[in-house]
Amino acid sequence: MEARDIIWDEDPCIFIFKDEIPGKMKMHVKNLDLYDWVRIDATYPKQMAVKQELYRSNMDDIFISRVNNPTTDHCKKEFYELLTDHVLERFPDIFEKQGDHILNRVTGELIPIDPDDEEEEDVMLRAGRLTQDDWIIMEYEENQSGYVLTAGNLCFPSDWSLKEKFNKPMQMIHEPVKPYLRHLKDKVDSLFLRLKAENPLWRANWGIYSSLDDTFDLFSHPNKKLHTQGGSRIPFEGEETGRKLFLRCEYHTLRKLPKTGCIVFGIRTYMRYLSDMKNQPKEDIQSLIDAIEDLDEEYSTYKGGDVWKVAALKYLKMILNEKSGLYSFSRNNISSRTILMSGVFAVGAFTAIKTFKKYFYT
């Protein structure tokens, strides 16, 4: 089968903002069906092309690992064996086993299967050549009383870097996110400790971004922040706003490895223009509006809301009104009801003038 003949899975529209609670940060954790451990859709070719370019130009930013550490090596190898088995079974149209390699029919790459082949590139990098997901390895350490980031392949980060978080426990990884420390720290620590290999989980998050080139502008270099905290507020420009703001949703998977006990954290990124919300049900648009309005001040600032919040809310309310039949000239926010009433008054005035002329000028 040629790559062009692949029947892609549909975008699952993981809109976790529908489950938000005002003023509170939630984990949004759900049981994971391993069939959905990896998700691949029609954005795969372009996202993988972005990855290939990053592999050539930004290797120091997208990959990190403890070196000559037996525990980390065992974790990575166990993960890679599970992943290669999974993608070969789950996506036979995309991946084909050829001897001791996997052929990626989309990228044309041959990826070695044997995780013990040390002459090949690190298995975390190989994993990134198979999936759109970013992959992080977390290991439990007694002296930290929790799980520590020990390896990762991160091509599509949201304002964080592997170098900053390497060898740090969860609390230090999330230290800049003050609402996390207040609402989630103890719950996440407990969740990681209680996680079972036979009960993998998934969660999700969302954010709104500006200053991107397009929906495949996914790599935030340490010098290029996606959340422009303290930047200039984006003006509302009617329909154009929907192409200047982006809705990013991340699908996170948490899987404890049965042999090593390490946790594999998968991050699958979905980026869409905010204008794509026109294609979603009214209930989803309203849920996103509610989620934005319900952000507390601190969390809104962390998400860069000072820059995009006003414009995003005006735009979302505009398209919600359009879907409800209330607006037709959206750029100027002219209500169709206003236009209708103007028409009624115009017709009434015209009729009155004709009647006046009939009786007084004949």
- For residues 27 and 48, give the distance between their C-alpha atoms in angstroms, rounded to a whole number: 28
pLDDT 10s digits, 175-201: 766 666 666 777 888 889 999 999 999
Check pLDDT > 50 for residue 161: yes
Average pLDDT over residues 63-78: 97
Residue 91 to residues 5, 109, 112, 267, 316: CA-CA distances in angstroms?
13, 16, 17, 19, 36
Residue 182 to residues 17, 107, 169, 291: CA-CA distances in angstroms?
19, 43, 16, 19
- Residue 186 pLDDT: 77
Band (346; pLDDT cuts 50, 70, 90): very low
Check pLDDT > 60 for residue 261: yes
- Percent of the chain at pLDDT > 90 equals 65
- Residue 273 pLDDT: 97
Check pLDDT > 50 for residue 362: no
Domain boundaries, the chain: 30-202+217-243+255-265
Work out the mean pLDDT of the chain and round it to a whole number: 86
Average pLDDT over residues 317-337: 66
Check pLDDT > 90 for residue 5: no
Band (350; pLDDT cuts 50, 70, 90): very low
pTM of the model: 0.86
pLDDT 10s digits, 195-247: 999 999 999 999 999 988 899 999 875 444 544 555 679 999 999 999 999 99
Check pLDDT > 70 for residue 71: yes
pLDDT 10s digits, 12-51: 999 988 888 787 677 789 999 999 999 999 999 999 999 9
- Residue 36 pLDDT: 98
Average pLDDT over residues 302-316: 95
